[in-house]
Structure 1
Amino acid sequence: MLDDQPGRPRVSPRSGILHPVLAGVVAALVGFAGAFAIVLAGLHAVGASDAQASSGLLVLSVSMGAVGVVLSLRHRIPLTMAWSTPGAALLIAAGHVQGGYPAALGAFMLAGLLIVLSGLWPALTRAILTIPGPLANGLLAGVLLSVCLAPVHAVVEVPRLGIPVVVVWLILTRVARRWAAIGALAAAAIGVALDPVSGAGPAHLLPQLTWVTPALNAGTLIGLGLPLFVVTMVSQNVAGVSVLRANGYEAPLRPVLTATGAASIVGAPMGAHGINLAAITAALTAGPDADPDPSRRWIAAVSAGVVCLVLGLGAGLATALLAASPPVLIEAVAGLALLATLGAALRAATADDDQREAAMITFVVSASGVTVIGISAPFWGLLAGLAFLGWHRARAGRSPIAREPAVRQRA
């Protein structure tokens, strides 16, 4: 029998679940293959070994899969989880941090703790949302810029590998944009298989967990932990909420933030930099392409979560690819995957005439790569942008902080 209620899709209750299941499989494959190189490059940049990077990728995959499955089953809405791709780009931009890899893990734990507090204390979420959007996007663009320059360096430094990757990406952006990043990764993998880095040591192909006790370093906590929290909240969680709302769903923020933050804290000693609501892949599981009936799209999110659990088993193989590749080549794949995100961030940063200069100050300082008193550039970029905006608004008698509507929490 068909549902003839006005405004409701005509869906047979006997129709199978194959369509949403396949939508979830595609979402998970696109999300994993299109971004795992960014995660591995980020972990390596802050000092992780191959084994530690493999451990981080495994824990991230398992965490986002498990949290997505549990929350989607509990709330019967498509709550797809992802790792923080902007956060991984931030790690690449930060590079070696004061205190080394253990201090970076301490920063991961701080970011996770702040996300838990955001779920338990709505005032903290509102405080993050009061950061003017152009400044937040300027911060994100500054973090992404150095990563997005990597394809240029790869073409010059390793042309035999870099040029085919860029050419494949260019072709696929024209004929199958969704698969462009995956195609670039495949081109890199083929090139590395034919011409691996000389002297590359053997890699573990099976997944492994590596524990490193986090260290607390004040400069790294402020310079890496706080920006990681901000870009994860603004660029991932807030964006994910927007995608869900655009498809008619209200995200249960409190359980989402507390669960993802807690999973990030638990996974940090094993290399996980953070999980959050998905944004891009959420559009694949929450939109009408997942299923005509909105009440059944949660199946796609559960399917995506299960596939993420399975994909975590390939963390060792993914890390082996990285170990046999010139570092600039993997960063080039990451940069190509993030070009659209950089463009969107720059467009949003410059959209408001009143805040454009402040956003550009945030952008250039964040992209500078400077470290002052052990605190990295993204923190100083946001501080500089807020200071500039405050200076000009104080002269006009206005608050430097934008007033945003409170975020509604749902238990």
Structure 2
Amino acid sequence: MERWLWRPISVGVTAALVGFLSSFAVVLAGLSAVGATTAQATTGLIALCALMGAGTILLTLRHRTPLMLAWSTPGAAILVSAGAAEGGWPAAVGAFLVTGLMIVLTAALPALGRLVAAIPAPLAQAMLAGVLLTLCVQPVIAFAQTPLMVGPVLLAWVVLARFAPRWAAPVAFALALGIAVADVLARGEALVVASPLPTFTMPSFTFPALIGIALPLYIVTMASQNVPGAAIMASFDVAVPWRESLFLTGAGTMLGSPAGGHAINLAAITAALSASAEAHPDRRRRWIAAHAAGWAYLVLGALTPLLVVLAAAAPAGLIEAVAGLALLGTLASALSAAVAERSRQVAVVLTFVIAASPVVLLGIGPSLWSLVAGLIVWGLSAARPFRGPTGPSAVRAAARPRGRRPEGHGSPDPRG
């Protein structure tokens, strides 16, 4: 293999490994939470890998740009928050199908895209942050219960988060699987690895599942994956075929739903790796990195049954802890974006609190209710102009002479 070709291929394989291993536990937890058996969750993960790989290969060959697809990691967190809806796993599969249909309709009907864009971004991010919080506290809970099992995983994650952040979550996951194998061997049990036959489910449609799973899954996938994915690609001067990408990911989600695939979308962070100069100095050859990532996803899909068996053998709470660690960065980003609108923080905080709560009303989980309550308060706050902060600090700031800073203070914080 020519030396120039090896570089983008290695970067693409790395991007696929990082994206897959850092969020595998999250997606597995999400599918299990809405009622999937081990065999159904395994089939769903395989379907997602196949769709991500095939879609990435197709886009890169067609456009010769480093476009990548990924599964919806925030969407999987939504599934954990929603839990099993009325109708069980078939109803969840129906919700996945409707989610894909709505993404396809977004590609076909620009008005629907404008409707989604009309949802205030801070509210969407606050909803996501509240959902993620329930997962991100799992490392603390798991460490309190089994410190000897979880402690090494936490230590590895902390060290790598400082020196090699890209590999922190994948290495934590790999270490957790190693601990699972050691635990099984210490108990004298046999670790039986058998690839289950593909399990397909006829979708059913219930109102709680459509409102409590499909709608939040669609909103989060669009607002936290597709839109940022396109924006990140634009920062690398990569033109994203927006409507084609939405149609491809929506149709792929519909196709994968009977197998248990919840949603695929444009990749963001992993795609940035393939689009950067790290993949190749010549931007015309960077698409090879994304293309290689597509083939790597297909290989990882074949390894999924083994990984699911190892995850199932892990001590209670260990895989959930890894999922929480993998989502800490996403939680930080969501919180930062949520509090950006300071004039309507009450609506944002209310959305966050409800999304983080275990409340279930009319069979619908907290994700949708948090957004409904937040939109109501957001709309009411629009009728009253924001007057700024009050209190002694505000009085002192108002009395301060204009055009000069107090002595001893540096430049103002550029973050505001």
- After TM superposition, the score normalised by the length of structure 1 is 0.90
Structure 2 residue 195 is matched with structure 1 residue 206: yes
Asked if 1 retains the 8 angstrom alpha-carbon contact of 2:136 and 2:328, the reply is: yes
**Any idea what SS the aligned residue of 2:305 has?**
helix
1:241 to 197, 208, 230: 230
Contact 2:124–2:220 (Cα < 8 Å) also in 1 = yes
* Structure 1 position 201, deviation (Å): 9.0
- Could you report, residue by residue, the CA deviation over 1:151-189 in whole angstroms, capped at 9, with x for unpaired residues? 011101222211111111111112211111011112211
**Who is 2:129 aligned against?**
141
Following superposition of structure 1 onto structure 2, how do residues 156-175 of structure 1 map, counting pairs within 5 Å?
156-175=144-163
**Contact map agreement 1:94 1:369 (CA 8 A) in 2:** no
Match of 1:383? Answer: 372
Q: Is the 8 A contact 1:134 1:356 kept in 2?
A: no
* Residue number among 260, 278, 292 corresponding to 1:289 in the alignment: 278
Q: Distance in 1 between matches of 2:305 and 2:10?
A: 25
From 96, 117, 122, the counterpart of 2:110 = 122
Match of 2:209 among 210, 220, 236: 220
Equivalent position of 1:155 in the other structure? 143
- Assess if the C-alpha contact under 8 Å between 1:358 and 1:388 holds in 2: yes
- Say what the alpha-carbon RMSD is for the aligned residues: 1.8
**Which amino acid counterpart does residue 165 of structure 2 have in structure 1?**
R
Runs (4+) of structure 1 exceeding 6 A deviation are 197-202
1:318 equivalent in structure 2: 307
Q: For 2:238, what is the secondary structure of its paired residue?
A: coil
SS in structure 2 of the partner of residue 375 of structure 1: coil
Q: Which residue identity is paired with 2:53? A: G
Instruction: Give the equivalent residue in structure 2 for 1:269.
Output: 258
Question: Quick check: 1:298 aligned with 2:248?
Answer: no
Are residues 1:370 and 2:359 paired? yes
Do 1:223 and 1:375's aligned partners in 2 also have CA atoms closer than 8 Å? yes
User: In the alignment, does 2:89 pair up with 1:101?
Assistant: yes
> How far apart in 2 are the matches of 1:110 and 1:340?
29
The answer to whether the 8 A contact 2:180-2:311 is kept is no
1-side partners of 2:277 and 2:107: how far apart?
29
What letter corresponds to residue 103 of structure 1 in structure 2? A
What's the counterpart of residue 10 of structure 1? none
Q: Which residue does 1:279 correspond to in 2?
A: 268
- Distance apart, 1:190 and its partner CA: 1.6
Give the letter for the 1:279 counterpart.
Answer: A
Distance between the aligned counterparts of 1:227 and 1:187, measured in 2? Answer: 32
Gaps of 5+ in 1: 1-13, 398-411
Could you tell me how far apart the structure 2 residues matched to 1:248 and 1:86 are?
26
> Taking structure 2 as the reference length, what is the TM-score of the superposition?
0.89
Segment of structure 1 superposing worse, 247-256 or 355-364: 355-364
Deviates more, 1:199-208 or 1:266-275: 199-208
Task: Mark the CA change 1:373 to 1:232 in structure 2 (over 3 Å): closer, same or farther.
Answer: same
2:317 is paired with a residue whose SS is helix
Q: Name the amino acid aligned to 2:244.
A: P
The superposition leaves residues 282-311 of structure 1 with CA deviations (integer Å, 9 ceiling, x where unpaired) of 111111111112222111111100110111
**Corresponding residue of 2:389:** none
User: How far, CA to CA, are the matches of 2:77 and 2:191 in structure 1?
Assistant: 27
Q: Which whole-Å CA distance do the structure 2 matches of 1:200 and 1:393 have between them?
A: 62
DSSP 3-state at the match of 1:276:
strand
The answer as to whether partners of 1:72 and 1:298 remain within 8 angstroms in 2 is yes
Q: How many residues align?
A: 384
**Residue 46 of structure 1 contacts residue 95 of structure 1 at CA under 8 Å; is this kept in 2?**
yes
CA deviation vs aligned residue, 1:95-129 (integer Å, no higher than 9, x gap): 22221111111111111110011111122112111
Please report how far the alpha carbon of residue 355 of structure 1 lies from its aligned counterpart in structure 2 after TM superposition.
2.5
Q: Using the TM superposition, give the Cα deviation of residue 200 of structure 1 relative to its aligned residue in structure 2, in angstroms.
A: 8.5
Deviations 1:351-410 (A, max 9, x none): 22113221111111111121111111100111111000111213559xxxxxxxxxxxxx
Q: Which moved more, 1:196-205 or 1:360-369?
A: 196-205
Match of 2:265, SS? Answer: strand
The residue aligned with 2:70 is 82
- Report the residue type matching 2:313 in the other structure: A
Q: Are the counterparts in 2 of residues 236 and 276 from structure 1 also a CA contact under 8 Å?
A: yes
- Shift, 1:15, TM fit: 7.1
Aligned-pair CA distance for 1:203 = 5.3
CA distance in 2 between partners of 1:364 and 1:151 (Å): 20
Map of 2:49 onto structure 1 = 61
In structure 2, stretches of 5+ residues that fail to align are 387-416
Give the Cα–Cα distance (whole angstroms) in 2 for the partners of residues 286 and 114 of structure 1.
28
- The equivalent residue for 2:317 is 328
1:343-362 equivalent positions in 2, closer than 5 A: 343-362=332-351
Q: Which residue of structure 2 lines up, in the alignment, with residue 406 of structure 1? A: none
CA–CA distance in structure 2, aligned partners of residues 134 and 91 of structure 1? 21
Paired residues for 1:40-51 under 5 Å: 40-51=28-39
* Counterpart contact for 2:39–2:196, Cα < 8 Å: no
Which of residues 221, 240, 243 in structure 2 aligns to 1:254? Answer: 243
CA distance in 2, matches of 1:367, 1:327: 22
